[in-house]
Amino acid sequence: MWTFIKKEFFHIFRDYRSMVVLFGIPLIQVLLFGFAITNDVNNAKIALLDHSKDPVTREITHKLLSSHYFLLSRYLNSEDEIKPAFKKGEIKEVVVFEPHFAQKLETEGKARIQLIIDATNPNTASILNGYTTGIINSYTLDKMKKEHRLPAEVNVQTAMMYNPELKSAFMFVPGIMTVILMLVSAMMTSISITKEKELGTMEALLVSPVKPSVIILGKVTPYVVLSSIIFAIIVLLSRFVFGMPIEGSIGLLVAESLLFLVMALSLGILISTVSKSQQQAMLLSMFVLMMPTILLSGFIFPIENMPLVLQYLSDIMPGKWFIIIIKNIMLKGNGFLYIWKETLIIFSMTLFFLMVSIKKFNVRLE
């Protein structure tokens, strides 16, 4: 057994490409998703078309720009300049104040601001809309309060549970953990097993007195060790670089991750029993595992918003359940009682994959 494990480590460490895949991709993905690919909007460039240019519009402008959400790109002089400005793609939003803004506000009690937003990315557009109206509303409320003109005050207080700053890293980290554990465990094992098939060494191993189960265990164990290390790296990164909390028990987190890992490994073995070449194993892992895990597990797109068919489909994604588990442990600090159902699902999936691959393995020997 030890002989096997040692040999497998030779394979891994002597192939610099596999080293890059094993350690480079997780790091890059975590940092990319954590920093670059984010839903938070910062420093969005806006343009102002101020027909009024009075103290009130200046004050509102100042309020908008002093938040870190917006960056003034330039002032426009007329409506005609709006379209060209958007076409150049340099701005995301135009704020238009109507003429005699302060005056109207004073005499009629109302004045109009028009927001024109680039909605090529609908998500960003609605976030920008939210920020802008929020800032303007809070300005008017403040103003009214100062002038004691508000008969009744409705005060909405929002509390964001589990992620008070609405950091998107909190949403991405569990997803990335899932994807990376899948990638390393399932893809790497399936590739390394099919590689031996391709080279003909698998045959030599099967002719030897070593039991097939020992061969497979020997191949899989190194990847368990590596995946655990990578998992630890991701958790440390998310904790200390992105400030993601670990509210729940670390022991439970580790145990659940090990379970998920074993699931991914058995899936990897299964893939290797059905594919004939490394390329096939790679493609299968990519399209059968990676893409659905990224798209359907709730990693990026909320499952509740999917069409019903896709919702059902997402139920058979192991990643979906693991993401729920991780969020429960890390963000909500829930114990096992809250996630036993998800755990059971992953556990049964593991058993299922193992049984099918053992069966397939035997069939191949027949």
Partner 1 sequence: MSEKIIEVKDLVKKFGNFVANDRLTFDVYRGEIFGFLGANGAGKTTAIKILTGLSRPTSGQVQVAGINVSKYPERVKKKIGYMNQSFSLYNDMSVRENFRFYGGIYGLSKAEIKERTQYYLHKLDMERYGDQLLKSIPLGWKQKLAFSVANLHNPGVIFLDEPTGGVDPITRRQFWELIYEAADRGTTVFVTTHYMDEAEYCERVAILSEGKLKALDTPALMKQEFGVTNMNDVFLKLARNVE
Cα gap 366→364, rounded to integer Å: 5
The residue type of 284 is: L
| Residue the block writes with tokens 């393995």 | 361
C-beta of residue 110 within 8 angstroms of C-beta of residue 104: yes
Q: Evaluate whether 327 touches 240 at the Cβ level (below 8 Å).
A: no
**Is residue 108 close enough to count as binding partner 1 by CB under 8 A?**
no
The least distance separating partner 1 from the CB of residue 220, rounded to whole angstroms, comes to: 17
CA distance 261 to 62: 52
**203 in contact with partner 1 (CB under 8 A):** yes
DSSP letter at 241 equals T
Residue whose C-alpha is closest to residue 92's, from 125, 139, 54 = 125
Binding segment (CB under 8 A) for partner 1, from list 6-14, 46-54, 82-90, 110-118: 6-14
- Binding partner 1 by CB under 8 A: which of 114, 138, 201, 348? 201
Residue 338's Cβ-count burial label (10 Å; 0-12, 13-18, 19+) is middle
Question: Among 19, 150, 199, 250, which residue sits at the site for partner 1 (rule: CB under 8 A)?
Answer: 199
**Pairwise CA distance, residues 84 & 95, whole Å:** 15
Task: Figure out which of the listed residues 31, 82, 96, 205 binds partner 1, where binding follows CB under 8 A.
Answer: 205
Q: Give the C-alpha separation, 133 to 135, whole Å.
A: 5
Which one, 3 or 123, has the nearer CB to partner 1? Answer: 3
How many residues of this chain interact with partner 1, rule: CB under 8 A?
Answer: 22
Asked if residue 15 binds partner 1 (CB under 8 A), the reply is yes
Radius of gyration of the chain (CA): 28
Number of H helices, E strands in the chain: 17, 4
Contact region with partner 1 (CB under 8 A), list: 39-47, 209-217, 219-227, 309-317: 209-217
Q: Which of 3, 39, 123, 348 binds partner 1 (CB under 8 A)?
A: 3
CA atoms within 13 A on the CB side of 11: 18
Decide if residue 14 touches partner 1 (CB under 8 A): yes
Which residue is listed with tokens 């809309």? 129
Is residue 277 close enough to count as binding partner 1 by CB under 8 A? no
Closer CB to partner 1, residue 127 or residue 274? 274
Q: Least distance from C-beta 203 to partner 1, angstroms?
A: 6
Q: How far is the CB of 204 from partner 1 (least distance, A)?
A: 3
Q: What are phi and psi of 278, to 5 degrees?
A: -60, -40
Nearer to partner 1, 202 or 303 (CB): 202
Determine, following the binding rule CB under 8 A, whether residue 147 of this chain makes contact with partner 1.
Answer: no
Positions 307 through 366 that interact with partner 1 (CB under 8 A):
365-366
Q: Does 17 bind partner 1 (CB under 8 A)?
A: no
Task: Work out how close the CB of 32 gets to partner 1 at its nearest, in angstroms, rounded to a whole number.
Answer: 30
Minimum separation from the CB atom of position 19 to partner 1 (A): 12
Q: Does 28 bind partner 1 (CB under 8 A)?
A: no
DSSP-based three-state secondary structure for 21: helix
Residue 162 binds to partner 1 (criterion: CB under 8 A): no
Per CB under 8 A, does 102 bind partner 1?
no
Structure tokens belonging to residue 39: 């839903």
SS3 call for 154? coil
Q: Does 223 sit near partner 1 (CB under 8 A)?
A: no
Judged by beta carbon, residue 122 or residue 209, the one nearer partner 1 is 209
User: x/- string (CB under 8 A) for partner 1, residues 50-89?
Assistant: ----------------------------------------
Q: Are the CB atoms for 76 and 49 separated by under 8 Å?
A: yes
Contacting residue, 211, 276, 341, 359, with partner 1 by CB under 8 A: 211
Q: How far apart are the first and last CA of the chain?
A: 25
CB 316 within 8 A of CB 345: no
Among residues 72, 210, 225, 246, which is the contact residue for partner 1, using CB under 8 A? Answer: 210
Give the length of the chain. Answer: 366
Q: Which residues bind partner 1 (CB under 8 A)?
A: 3-4, 6-7, 10-11, 14-15, 199-201, 203-211, 365-366
